[in-house]
Amino acid sequence: MTILEARAVTKTYETRGVATKALAGVDLKIEKGEFSVLAGPSGSGKTTLLNLLGALDDPSSGEIMLDGQQLSDLSPRELADLRLRKLGFVFQAYNLVPVFSARENIEFVMQLQSVSAEDRRKRADELLEEVGLAGLADKRPLEMSGGQQQRVAVARAIASRPRIVLADEPTANLDSENATHLLEIMEQLNLERGVTFLFSTHDPRVMERARRLIRVVDGQIERDERQE
């Protein structure tokens, strides 16, 4: 089942009258249950594509479809609701709310979805245990290591039970041990819970674990291959 699809997508940025094409006619389908990676060097267009797929930016031309729904047909409010209910995000810089505890950061998305306080707390605590942070529920981000913060970010991303989690360079700020641990957690969530992941990265540790490797070069998909 196709969750996300890009159809002939282009993206052009203009700076001081100079146009730069970041994406040039990209076609891509992401299926339910995939553990896929957009790979490529800095400036290749992979993060731009991920942002378009996540409804964080608009294409210059072409269409993005989520669950068969064309994003360009939606109002800003409808797009915000779609991101809240169908998409999970993990960012390189964690993007946790600094004044919230780990539990409160995870609960926040569910609060926006009008989940009851009791159910929010129960699910947040279950997710913290699942990512190995059961004892840190009341800690704020600055009281945790980078690896711990990123695990909170993963728990927050799946708390809303999204259709797909988009992860932009999630291991970039982590040492080898923390990166490996984080990837093991995400892989387990994919295999045991069926969480669909799409990464944007140039980290070989992430690429090695991908079951589908999509190489982006100069704004185009150069190669799209399945891996054992």
Q: Which CATH superfamily is domain 2-226 in?
A: P-loop containing nucleotide triphosphate hydrolases (3.40.50.300)
Query: What is the per-residue pLDDT across 37-78, written as a single tens digit (0 to 9) for each?
Result: 999 988 899 999 999 999 999 999 999 999 989 999 999 999
The pTM score is 0.92
The predicted-structure confidence for 78-113, as pLDDT tens digits, reads as follows: 999 999 999 999 998 889 999 999 999 999 999 999
What's the confidence (pLDDT) of residue 41? 87
Secondary structure of the chain in the HEC alphabet?
CEEEEEEEEEEEEEECCEEEEEEEEEEEEEECCCEEEEECCCCCCHHHHHHHHCCCCCCCEEEEEECCEEHHHCCHHHHHHHHHHHEEEECCCCCCCCCCCHHHHHHHHHHHCCCCHHHHHHHHHHHHHHCCCHHHCCCCHHHCCHHHHHHHHHHHHHHCCCCEEEEECCCCCCCHHHHHHHHHHHHHHHHHHCCCEEEEECCHHHHHHCCEEEEEECCEEEEEEECC
